[in-house]
Amino acid sequence: MEEFLVWLVWVVAALALLASGLAVVLFSNPFYSALALIGNLASLAVLYLLLEAEFVAAAQVLVYAGAVVVMFLFVIAYLGGQADTPWAGGPTLQAVAAVVAAGAIAVEVVVVIALQADERLSDAADVGEAFGSPAQIGNLFLSDHLLAFEVTSIVLLVAAVGGVILGSAMPRPRERGER
């Protein structure tokens, strides 16, 4: 019964994940895309729970859905009609690159499925209660991965400074603006 429930949750989460992912990419209105991203992140959080990564799942919901997506929504609202301005600055040679990427990824899917048929990937380690718990994560962060932890704070600080600089981009008077 429990097995069935887990399967059910997984199937629902997986379908939601794929559907919302596609929605993010396909919606022409960035506002809907950002909303779809919330669904995407939420279904990811569910999957993380199934993988016994409770702390990551919690962080996912708080950081992403709570902060990042909200930021996206603010910006989209701020820009209004300008938000979906097409932009020629993206990666070039899209068609070729897309085909190559799709091909490479298709190969990988086949690989994964093949491995699964091989039964090699269906096993998982036995993990104790503590696996994925805040205590374990905290312990790792402050011992083995202390440097990574510190670096994340630097990355955030730089992003904050960058945000301040970019936010200061006030339209300037013409005579000074033309350099």
Partner 1 sequence: MDEFTAPTIDWAALSPVLITLAGASVVLLASLFLPPGVRRGFGAAVAAICFVGAAAAAIALFVADESGRGIVSEAIRRDRLAELAQVLVMGAGLLTVGVSYREPERVERAGEYWALLLTAASGMAFFVAANNLMTLFLGLEWFSICLYVLTAIAVERLPGLEAGLKYLIVGSFGSAILLFGSALVYGATGAIGFEEIAAGTAEGERLFLVAGLAMVLVGLGFKASAAPFHMWTPDVYEGAPTPVTGFMAAATKVAALVVTLRLLVTAFPGEEELWTVALAVIVCASLAWGNLAALVQVSVKRMLAYSSISHAGFLLMPIAAGNELGGRALLYYLIAYSAMSVGAFAVVAVRERELAAPVTVGNLAGFGWERPFLGGSMALFMFGFIGLPPAGIFLGKIYAFAAVIERGWTWLAIVGAVFTAVSIYYYVGVIRAMFMQPRELAVAAGGSPPPDRLLVASVAASVVVAVGSLLAADPLIDIARDAVEFLPFPVG
Partner 2 sequence: MLGPGIAAYLVLSVVLFATGALGVLLRRSPLIILLALEIMLNAGNLALIAFARRLGDGDGQIFALTVMVVAAAEAVLGLGLIVAVSRQRADLDVDRLTSLRG
User: Footprint of partner 1 on this chain (CB under 8 A)?
Assistant: 87, 89-93, 107-108, 111, 114-115, 120-121, 130, 135, 139, 142-148, 151-152, 154-155, 158-159, 161-162, 164-166, 168-169, 172, 177, 179
5-27 CB burial, b ≥16 within 10 A, e <16: eeeeeeeebeebbeebbebbeee
Site for partner 2 in 94-153 (CB under 8 A): 94, 97-98, 101-102, 105-106, 108-109, 112-113, 115-116, 121-127, 131-132, 136-137, 140-141, 144-145, 148-149, 151-152
End-to-end CA distance of the chain: 71
Q: What is the 3-state secondary structure (H, E, C) of 64-84?
A: HHHHHHHHHHHHHHHHHHHHH
70, interface contact from partner 2, partner 1, none, CB < 5-8 Å by kind = none
Residues contacting residue 84 through CB under 8 Å, at least 6 positions apart:
28, 29, 30
Instruction: Give the shortest CB-175-to-partner 2 separation in angstroms.
Output: 13
Report which residue type is found at 140: L
Site for partner 2 in 54-93 (CB under 8 A): 55-56, 59-60, 63-64, 67-68, 71-72, 75-76, 78-79, 82-92
